[in-house]
Structure 1
Amino acid sequence: MMGTVLFFMIYSVVLLYNTANSNKSTIVDVDVVQEQLKKLVIQVAKLNTSMYSKENIKVCGSSNQTNNLNPRIEKLYTSCRQLFSDGHNTNDVYRIWLFRGYRFISIFCDMKTVGEYSKERGWMVIQNRKNGVVNFDRGWNDYLHGFGFPDKEYWVGLYNLDALLHQNRVGTAEDNLALRIDMTDWDGVYGHTECNSFYTNPEKDDFRIISVGTCVGTPQIKFTISYMIGSRFSTFDHHSESRRPTECVRQQKGGWWFSQCRFSNLNGVYSSKREQMTKYRIFVRHWQKLNRNNTSLRYVSMKLQ
């Protein structure tokens, strides 16, 4: 009952805040509304800690508790870009407020990389592979809710990804977020791509990628990512991608927008520096054109702005 009351209270304040920002003639003190909103958000976030205890990002089997997230930040930031604009320019884990579910999640913010389209800093890291300490060979439920450590190896979770992709669509008609992917192999060869309009459908369509927009960066990488358009997210225990052969379902590990099994899988099994790249581990097509040794990837990161 208390949760329902708080939900409608905060919903009313959010509407009032959006109205005040969009209509300057409205007699509303935006600072007062922001302060009221912040107080209500703290109450709802604490209440939702128990509500989302089974759905929040799993960190080695335990829930990611709201009251442990970066107490220095008091404003309701909905992106790392906003944080950077307010002077938080250190790579770190920050609280990001989700309008969907009225709750916080912890996100690692890359404050050093400059967007090729935006020319600004502040990226929300949604996936990170760097040393293989976290197992990415998991089923559908884990990929829905997320797992790992935001400042180490990490998958944000499809529910949280869906909420992040809708942040700009709450009360606005802004464009989709940009997606950036950076990768480096064990020989030190680097590649990246940045696509300016990443968007997926909701869960009922298995988070199908419907847009990546225009992509720039390493040619071999950007062309590979473009093949993901139209693909549904799939795991070994949740396979709905008709274009993906049964053999790939059995042999490819992790969860990904596989499409046909020969383009990419950035959530595959982590490889050592002595291994070559294979589609049954972390894989991106045409890497051999960048490095003729076809060396396996040491580092992969996906981020949104």
Structure 2
Amino acid sequence: MTAICQKSALSTELEEIEIEMQSPERAERQRGGDQFVQPRERENIFLYLLVIAVTFGISLPFGVLWGDRRCNTPAIKVENCSVWCDGIEKGNHQNKPIGFATQGAPVTIYPEFTYKTGVDVYCDCSPDSNNVWTVFQRRREGNVNFYRNWQSYVDGFGKFDEDYWLGLETLNQFTRRGKCSLRVDILDWNSTAHYAEYSAFSVGDPSSLYTLSVHNYTGNAGDALNSSSGVQFCSIGSPSECTEAEEHNGAWWFGTPYTSHLNGIYRSEDVRVLPGIYWSTLSEESLKAVEMKFRCE
């Protein structure tokens, strides 16, 4: 998402003062779109502004004094989905339901570990899910190939308002900083919705090959992820040289016994055979849609 830079009233006023300090001809050109100012003239303008600030007691941010007009950072940074969803409840944000979410939208959030650049996610604010969730995996269209190599799964891929995978490294950065929960939403081919929640969820660091940890299941989908807890992530090209990724045509925390695989091949309704999107406690056929999401305290 592209952030929009909005000028403050002070910034706009200072720009008007800056223009007035120039010769009439240059001021007229600048209002007409000629934004070029010679470096020495610009330096003199800053000195004038500094004198005005000292004289009238105006507090000027360094960004204004030194011409920092970057527009890649919004005036207000939302650090997580909870803050953003508070805004949608107040009517401050546009609602864009996608997948299982009845309320939510694609958002750029700015958590502590990536505060400067932000990270694109989908915030699920649905009242019926009981909590605010950050979606990190979605399969509903089948238009994104999930049979990918190790680096793709580390970095993430897809479109965050369609099918996508957020990335193992980003998951580690989020889940290592506090108590996190996991929710898995699943839709079968009868359009029946199922869910599984785990009150303890984390993804390990690169040295652990992003080992999954999940505990304390509740829900109606069945606990098919239990055998994956404590298991390293496996994909083609994985440093662990695992073989399950090729066997099951995807990438996952393949446990023993093999009871789940939500990154498998997306199958159409008339071809539901495995390997596919698999959750053993629901069906021995590939499933219609799935989302994985987390929240952290």
Out of 226, 237, 262, the residue aligned to residue 266 of structure 1 is: 262
Contact 1:96 1:104 (8 Å CA) reproduced: yes
Out of 98, 105, 108, the residue aligned to residue 111 of structure 2 is: 98
Q: How does 1:134-145 map to 2 (within 5 A)?
A: 134-145=144-155
Q: Match for residue 279 of structure 2? A: 284
Report how far residue 74 of structure 1 moved: 4.0
Contact 1:130 1:299 (8 Å CA) reproduced: yes
Q: Given residue 219 of structure 2, which amino acid in structure 1 is its aligned partner?
A: G
3-state SS of the aligned residue for 1:250?
helix
> Where does the alignment leave 5 or more consecutive residues of structure 1 unmatched?
1-35, 47-65, 170-174, 289-293
3-state SS of the aligned residue for 2:84?
helix
Contact 2:140 2:288 (8 Å CA) reproduced: yes
User: TM-score w.r.t. structure 2 length?
Assistant: 0.66
Aligned residues: 217
Identity %: 27
Provide runs of 4+ in structure 1 moved above 3 Å: 86-89
Q: How does 1:7-26 map to 2 (within 5 A)?
A: none
Q: Given residue 83 of structure 1, which amino acid in structure 2 is its aligned partner?
A: W
Report how far residue 266 of structure 1 moved: 0.4
Instruction: Report the Cα distance in structure 2 between the residues aligned to 1:277 and 1:178, rounded to whole angstroms.
Output: 31
Q: Deviations over 1:154-209 (max 9, x none)?
A: 0001111112214xx3xxxxx51111100112221321111112112211001112
Instruction: Mark the structure with the bigger radius of gyration.
Output: 2
Contact 2:249 2:264 (8 Å CA) reproduced: yes
Out of 154, 171, 180, the residue aligned to residue 177 of structure 1 is: 180
3-state SS of the aligned residue for 1:81?
helix
3-state SS of the aligned residue for 2:106?
strand
Report how far residue 261 of structure 1 moved: 6.0
Contact 1:209 1:228 (8 Å CA) reproduced: yes
Report how far residue 139 of structure 1 moved: 0.3
> Where does the alignment leave 5 or more consecutive residues of structure 2 unmatched?
1-60, 96-103
Q: Given residue 92 of structure 1, which amino acid in structure 2 is its aligned partner?
A: A
Instruction: Report the Cα distance in structure 2 between the residues aligned to 1:277 and 1:78, rounded to whole angstroms.
Output: 41
User: TM-score w.r.t. structure 1 length?
Assistant: 0.64
3-state SS of the aligned residue for 1:224?
coil
1:80 correspondence with 2:59: no
Q: How does 1:108-257 map to 2 (within 5 A)?
A: 108-115=122-129, 119-120=130-131, 122-166=132-176, 169=177, 175-210=178-213, 212-220=214-222, 223-238=223-238, 240=240, 246=243, 248-257=244-253
Q: Match for residue 54 of structure 1? A: none
Q: Match for residue 300 of structure 1? A: 290
Q: Match for residue 22 of structure 1? A: none
Contact 1:277 1:283 (8 Å CA) reproduced: no
3-state SS of the aligned residue for 1:235?
coil
Instruction: Report the Cα distance in structure 2 between the residues aligned to 1:235 and 1:164, rounded to whole angstroms.
Output: 21
Report how far residue 219 of structure 1 moved: 5.0
Report how far residue 113 of structure 1 moved: 4.5
